Structures are given as C-alpha cells and as structure tokens.
Amino acid sequence: MRGTTSTEETARSWRQFKATGERKWRNVLMVHYFPIVKYNAERIGAKLPDEVDRDDLISAGVFGLIDAIKAFDLERGVKFETYCAPRIRGAILDELRSMDWVPRLVRSRSHKLDRVSRELESTFGRTPTDGEIADRLSISRVEFEKLRRAATAVVQVSLSRKYNDSDSNKEVCEIDVLQDRRGKDPFVEIQKRDLRDLLVRGMSRAERLILILYYYEEMTMKEIGVTLDLSESRVSQMHSAILARLKTQLAERRKELV
C-alpha cells in the first residue's frame, strides 16, 4: 500500500497517462489532486445557502478536474495546480448556474409578494396576515400558498444588483439589505465538528481515500484497488469494516448527535 504520492510517482503517473490514456493512471492523478477539488468546493459552498448540496459541488469539481487532467500539456512548463484550479471553480460555478431552475414568472411574482408585504406592513403598522396579502394580490389562499412555497426556492442572484425598493437617493445593493438566515448555534456546530473529527481520527489515509473514492468519485471497488495497490476483495473488506466501525461509534455517541 502506498503512502503519500511522491513527486516522482506523480510525474511517472503523468507520463504514463499521457502516453497510454489509461484510466488507472488518471485515477491515480485524481486521488493526488482531489484535495484541490474539496478545497474549492468548500470555499464556494461556504458562501451559499444550506440548501445547496456540497456533494453536488464536489461532484462538479471532480468533472472539472478530469477535464483539466485530460487537457493539461506537460510541455507548457506550468504547474498543474495553477492550471486546474480555475477549471475546477468554473465547473462548480456552471453547476450553480444550472441550479437556477425557478421560472421567471414565479420569480417575478415572488418579488411582488415581498413588495406587497412591505406596503401592507407600512399601512397597518404590523405584519400583515396571509389573507390580507392574498387579497391585495387578488389571488386565492391556495394560490398564495403555492406562491409562497415557490418564493423560498433557491436561486442565484448578484449581490451587487441594485435594490429596487430603496426610498433614498443613495444607491442600495442587494447585499446591503440581505438578511442573514444562516446563523447557527456555535455550540452545536463545535459539537458536530468535534464528533466528526473523533470518528475519523483513527482512520488511516487508505481508509479515508476509500470513502472518498467510493462515495464522492463513484469509483468501483476494482478501480479503487488499482489506485491504492490493493486487491478488490481487500478494498471491499476494508470498506465493510469502516462502515461497521462508524456505526458502532455513532451508536455509542448517539446522545451527542441529538
């Protein structure tokens, strides 16, 4: 079983992949450079709503990494880390743009809902009821509920876009009026982080790679075995042992997850 991939091994994998195009050499390179994918996905994901699945960002980044490995020219004299980072970020951002599936009509009506709510609140001096908002919009309560659910869908907007409902002469952007709804209990977050660190603390690098390659990159047990210099049966045994150990640890610390 290999330890951390050395510079010589990485250079050899590059030469072999460019010469043969074989998947096993590409997989070795993917394992070596995967931390770059994870780093960029986490940095971008930290600025997004919780509804955005981080695994989707990582998957998109992996595709960007694959494209970068295929297109990279060893003769250009450029470090691959420098070359691949923009491609990985671009693939992740493309995935984010594709998530903006909310129809334009629904988006427009949700903006109207927000505006009417503020107008009624100003008129009544209190938060308007759902019925009052529905009456002002001339829609039924059923339609109002549908509209409100649609308004909560995740969309991608520019925070530098001008905020249209400003009463002052000063230009106000979306970021100036954006409500922070991502606040979390720091105590709970620390507990979760400590528990996660505790669960993976006893894992070897090979065990962590098996989980990453199997669940994030969707490699087969055979491909993982080739990448880690292990037999397919050994990879399967290690995978089963890891899951059994994690289940036992989680069961023992169930109270910490509540």
Mean pLDDT is lowest, of 43-52, 78-87, 96-105, 155-164, for 155-164
Evaluate if residue 177 carries a pLDDT over 50.
no
Q: At how many degrees (to 10) do helices 130-137 and 104-124 cross?
A: 120
Q: Mean pLDDT, the chain, as a whole number?
A: 76
In tens, the pLDDT along 117-158 reads 888 888 888 888 888 888 888 888 888 887 776 665 544 455
pLDDT of residue 70: 92
pLDDT of residue 154: 44
In this structure, what is the dihedral angle of CA atoms 147, 100, 61, 47, given to the nearest 10 degrees? -60
Regarding predicted confidence, which is higher, 191 or 255?
191
Strand partners, 173: 162
Q: Which whole number is the average pLDDT over 49-61?
A: 78
Q: Which whole number is the average pLDDT over 62-85?
A: 90
pLDDT of residue 183: 60
pLDDT of residue 33: 93
Greatest mean pLDDT among 82-86, 135-139, 147-151, 198-202 lies in: 82-86
Domains in the chain, CATH or no CATH each:
7-98 (1.10.1740.10), 104-177 (1.10.10.10), 186-257 (1.10.10.10)
Residue 222 pLDDT level (bands cut at 50, 70, 90): confident
pLDDT of residue 97: 73
